[in-house]
Amino acid sequence: MMMPVLEAGKRSVRVDDSGFLLDSNDWTKEIAEALAKSSALYPVTEEHWRVIIYIRQYFKKYNSAPMLRAISKRTKLEERRLRTLFPRSCHECMCKIAGLPKGTG
């Protein structure tokens, strides 16, 4: 069974059936933009980037995604605002666009 592919500019990356990158090392800002478009979340604003970059940094350090409260505190965006920026399955959507693997919980 072939995995789906996400096209971003001149790059093609493999994603799972939910659209999450299979290899987080494939992530680039261009890939993030394509993931955002595939999630009907476009354009990606400065506030989105603040969240996405923080999540990526946290993941690199701790090998897990930060909790929503921590994201809110570190990005200085209220949880209500985060839910507006990433309206469907807020935390999952953030992690997907940041190129993190799909969570298990």
* pLDDT tens-digit map of 58-102: 999 999 999 999 999 999 999 999 999 999 888 999 999 999 988
In the prediction, which pLDDT does 43 show? 93
Encoded tokens for 100: 């993190």
Give the DSSP H/E element, type plus range, for residue 6. strand 5-8
CB 20 within 8 A of CB 96: yes
In the prediction, which pLDDT does 69 show? 96
CA atoms within 13 A on the CB side of 58: 19
In the prediction, which pLDDT does 88 show? 81
Q: Is the pLDDT of residue 3 over 80?
A: no
Please report, for the chain, the start and end positions of each structural domain, with discontinuous segments joined by +. 5-97
pLDDT band at 104 (very low <50, low <70, confident <90, very high): low
In the prediction, which pLDDT does 9 show? 85
